[in-house]
Structure 1
């Protein structure tokens, strides 16, 4: 698996997803060691976690080689993943 980290780390949606993932991990680790991470009440915390999970999904799934959150014109034409071999 080859990943161009220089490009990925300059892509704002990816950075947002990575930051939010870090927040979720800190929250999970806090819960494991007994630290209460409830924001306001459990319902609000669950909604907050759902929003964070969606932001992680968007940030990780986005094509970092294009501007914004769209795929490139070339990638839109693929019927299956491109074989680089």
Structure 2
């Protein structure tokens, strides 16, 4: 599996997508909103509860997998073109 991590990590949309891929299943499973996480203790308790729950870990794994997978390329790798990028491609440019 070849993924151009260097370029993906430079793309703020990718970072937000991964954060949401982890956070959304957590909040949904435990019936919380972001407003419920008002202390670091509550955040760490939520993380510990999630790490102790195989079902929640499975939900997070599937969510992150969907965020990483490029559906227009066969398999789990980036396209050969995407692997050559040095920075995220601008929209509208070929």
Question: TM-score interval w.r.t. the shorter chain?
Answer: 0.3 to 0.5
Q: TM-score, normalised by structure 2?
A: 0.42
Q: TM-score, normalised by structure 1?
A: 0.46
Q: Which has the higher contact order (CA 8 A, sep 6+)?
A: 2
